[in-house]
Structure 1
Amino acid sequence: MQAITHVIIVTVDSNDTVIRDGMLLIDGTGFDYVGEMDAARIPRDADIMDCKGCYVAMPGLIDTHNHSSLIRGVDENLDLVDWLPVYDLEHRTCTPQDARQAYRLGYLECLLNGTTTVQDMHRHMDQAAIVAGEMGLRVFLAPYAADVPPYDFFETSDTNERLIKDWHGAFDGRVQVEAGIEDVFYSSDVMYRRALEMHEKYGVRIHTHGPEHPEEEDTAQTRFGMSITQLLAKRGMLGDFLSLGHCVPISERDMELIAQAGASICHCPISAAKLGCGTAPVKRMEEAGINVSLGSDGPIDNNSMNLFQEMKVASLMQKARYRDAKIFDARHMLRMATINGARSLGMEDSIGSLEAGKQADLIMVGLDHPSLRPVCWNETSTDTNLLWALVFAMQGNFVDTVIVAGKTLVRHGHLLTDDEDEILESAQAQGVDWMRRRNAAFNQLLAPIRD
């Protein structure tokens, strides 16, 4: 039994309960107790961590749309439609060793920034399963699958199904495999049918891209005579088993389709802004009844994987879009980064909040940083300015401790389950080599998808 005592707890439960002097008891992989400090509950042989009121515990963050990579900061100053063909060169040249080092570096960055669960879409994802098993985090793996020529250099439905057979449920369930599809321009109706078959046969979820840039929606209307969301509906893809990345340009009708189906949207505000896609109407999505979570979109276009940044930017962009300072407050953003993410993955009963009976996935932030002080409380309630600091003043490297399924993966800001220096050195060498091969493939650059 592990006991974390005298800790501030941000539970993100249904009441957004905050406990000023709290205690967490972890038995094996799950929470046995989450509540007020009660020393009498602590077993004699418990391993005790006394936080002395100087740490806050909160659920591990959940990144619901990520693309691992070793290549960042090179495909810059391009709008999405022009950016995609350049990004595709990475996939033309990606080897299993490239992918392995990308997962090692990316998952290290995620853990150090407090992200305990990642929904990842990339290549050679058996390597992702192995790395996640070694490091200890949770992953949902959606292979980057495409089959429409000339985009048939990605993963296939067959490799996706093999990944499900080999790795779904591995490492005590921390590795989950999904049916992954790039998008409606890269993937045929046949590939979408195969994804549905895998969902029905193996019970796996499906992850794909929704509309990201207005120009994509214009092209969809020209090619298919309908929006991307309507085409997904026609192909039978909308359901509570589906999470959609982005959905920046989206109509009221399409929001209703997604809401009625129970699908979730993974909102990536920083990459949307950086690629000139615009600001998603998240307020209207939620009013329509859609569950909206947060994603980083990975280093390829975001340049970092930091859900604390995503919370802040997402809030500010909605306040600006709707000219309303009252919306998307700190509590709202904490839910988007945790329990909403769990709901996007069908895991809301297991992770996403600190509650007895759930898996012990949590992060601890030390309060010994100028931007987090002073911590003030409303003496007649549990209201505290700390919530606002966690969303609007927090840096990922303020995370001190990361625990997943009861196992401590990060302590005092350093990874315990692998060699950080070796990961960085290996990523550096592999990344330089990958970049060389990628640059040599520029003669295979495809034209942007636009009509």
Structure 2
Amino acid sequence: MNSFAITNVAIFTVDPADRVIPCGTLIVQQGRIVSLGTTEAIQVPPDIPVIDASGHALLPGLIDCHSHSSLMRGVTENMQLMEWLPYYQLEHRALTEEYAFHSARLCYLEALKSGTTCVMDMYRFMHRCAEAAEEVGLRVNLAPYVADAPGKDFFASLAENHTLIHSHHGSQNGRIQVWMGLEHLFYCTADAYTQALQAQRDYGVGIHTHACEQREEDQAVERHFGRRSIAQLDHYGILGERTLLAHCVWLNDDEIKRIADTGTAIAHCPVSNAKLASGVARVPEMLAAGITVGLGTDGPVCNNSLSLFEEMKFASLIQKATRLEATLLPASQMLRMATINGARALGLDRDIGSLEVGKCADLLLLDLGMPNMTPAQVDAQGGNVLWNLVFAAGSQNVASVWVDGRQLIANGQTTRLNEREVILEAQAHGLALFERCRDISHLKSTMLGD
């Protein structure tokens, strides 16, 4: 059903004016928004299905700007980043194509049921992740976990990344976008950055990497390279409008200005940064400088949840709590970070991220008639519903989700998948992956004489 109308719904457009239509109608034809406005003003064509969404709110689909598919949920806990990384790397040493497929399919399903319609996924065997995206129906940006430094051959290679660009970039009606994915300064040689830039010039793809996640990491970079992380990335020439940096917790004023001046975007992952004791990113300063800041979950392995509702709430509250300033990052700003800012960070803001005529129908319909959203009052400024979208709503309120006008969630349930089957298969493969990681860990300990 790529052509339909949704009527009598509170529409939060997240357009440049943050327009809210308390009782509105939105019309989709051939997967794109062709009209929206007040229900009284919009004439619905007689030949398309109509959904009466009274008691619901309609938003752009949420956008996760940085995630890592994984089956390793809840097994690397109570560790700071630098202690956690060797354990996380066991997954990549043990990973096979089949594990990668089931990881991605499970994570994409969880994201979709949480109201997320687009994910930036940095993982391995990403041709299988594309298969998973096709099954689930999600819009996905694929950034292979490239590492070419000595001893890091258990990650993806530059050749794999180039092959994926040729085979999948722009596939699935444009829902699959391929990026050059560089793991980290310590994992990649200078040649990797040179090749990433060349691929960007040749194919117009973006570059995605991690930076400044933990203070000790940044200090180690400075000792090794003689420059701080942002300066070293700038030295390699990759800062720019088609580059997205994950984390950026430990930026100083000059680095914030340089990122802003180059048009580089940032994926802010507040829950993961808190969980790994990395710190609190200077998001207010980033936004004030004009940096595009989207939200990321960082995946189940270091977050445990893929809910952008949690990220919105926590991102706001952690700033208020640590700075003792209650006005920081209000609901309207958080909603933009989870939608249009995310789209802009991924270079997709012409097509998704807001409800505007001409854009793809990536839509999220939330049920307001539940205890956590009651009472609900919507006016032209959003009313209390605007605040509750960020500070009260959750996956339980997700009633329907569309991507490209295709309804993937109806009445809270998937329309394309047997959820039980996906979960049972992920359970079996996840336990097998746990065991494989334990075997590799034991072998490494034996070889080291521990």
Write the letter of the residue equivalent to 1:47: P
TM-score between both structures, scaled by the size of structure 2: 0.97
Q: CA–CA distance in 2 between the matches of 1:232 and 1:423? A: 40
Q: Tell me how far 1:41 sits from its aligned partner.
A: 1.4
**Map of 2:392 onto structure 1:** 393
TM-score between both structures, scaled by the size of structure 1: 0.96
Write the letter of the residue equivalent to 1:188: T
**Map of 1:415 onto structure 2:** 414
Q: CA–CA distance in 2 between the matches of 1:245 and 1:399? A: 27
Contact 1:85 1:445 in 2 (8 A): no
Change (3 A) 1:68 1:40: closer
1:180-234 per-residue CA deviation (whole Å, 9 max, x = no partner) reads 0100011111111111111111111111101100001110111011111100000
Contact 2:35 2:42 in 1 (8 A): no
Q: CA–CA distance in 2 between the matches of 1:65 and 1:40? A: 37
1:387-422 per-residue CA deviation (whole Å, 9 max, x = no partner) reads 111100111121010001111001111111111011
* More off after superposition, 18-27 vs 148-157: 148-157
Identity over aligned residues, as a percent? 44
Q: Tell me how far 1:45 sits from its aligned partner.
A: 1.0
**Map of 2:428 onto structure 1:** 429
**Map of 1:7 onto structure 2:** 9
Change (3 A) 1:156 1:249: same
**Map of 1:258 onto structure 2:** 259
**Map of 1:29 onto structure 2:** 31
Q: Tell me how far 1:40 sits from its aligned partner.
A: 5.9
Structure 1 residues 171-210: aligned runs within 5 Å? 171-210=172-211
**Map of 1:341 onto structure 2:** 342
Q: CA–CA distance in 1 between the matches of 2:375 and 2:108? A: 32
Contact 1:25 1:33 in 2 (8 A): yes
Contact 2:362 2:402 in 1 (8 A): yes
Give the paired residue count.
443
**Map of 2:287 onto structure 1:** 286
Q: CA–CA distance in 1 between the matches of 2:254 and 2:381? A: 40
Q: CA–CA distance in 1 between the matches of 2:381 and 2:297? A: 31
Contact 2:10 2:378 in 1 (8 A): no
Q: CA–CA distance in 2 between the matches of 1:383 and 1:107? A: 30
What SS does the aligned partner of 2:256 have? helix
Question: 5+ residue gaps in structure 1?
Answer: 447-451
Write the letter of the residue equivalent to 1:12: V
1:95-123 per-residue CA deviation (whole Å, 9 max, x = no partner) reads 00000000110000000000000000001
Q: CA–CA distance in 2 between the matches of 1:191 and 1:120? A: 19
Structure 1 residues 168-317: aligned runs within 5 Å? 168-317=169-318
Q: Tell me how far 1:377 sits from its aligned partner.
A: 4.3
Change (3 A) 1:40 1:148: closer
Q: Tell me how far 1:153 sits from its aligned partner.
A: 1.2
**Map of 1:63 onto structure 2:** 64
Q: For the aligned residues, what is the CA RMSD? A: 1.2
Write the letter of the residue equivalent to 2:355: L
Contact 2:121 2:142 in 1 (8 A): yes
What SS does the aligned partner of 1:121 have? strand
**Map of 2:47 onto structure 1:** 45
Question: 5+ residue gaps in structure 2?
Answer: 446-450
* More off after superposition, 365-374 vs 158-167: 365-374
Q: CA–CA distance in 1 between the matches of 2:55 and 2:128? A: 38
What SS does the aligned partner of 2:123 have? coil
Q: Tell me how far 1:287 sits from its aligned partner.
A: 1.4
Q: CA–CA distance in 1 between the matches of 2:42 and 2:59? A: 23
- The structure 1 segments of at least 4 consecutive aligned residues displaced by more than 2 Å after TM superposition are 443-446
Q: CA–CA distance in 2 between the matches of 1:445 and 1:38? A: 68
Q: CA–CA distance in 1 between the matches of 2:71 and 2:210? A: 21
What SS does the aligned partner of 1:226 have? coil
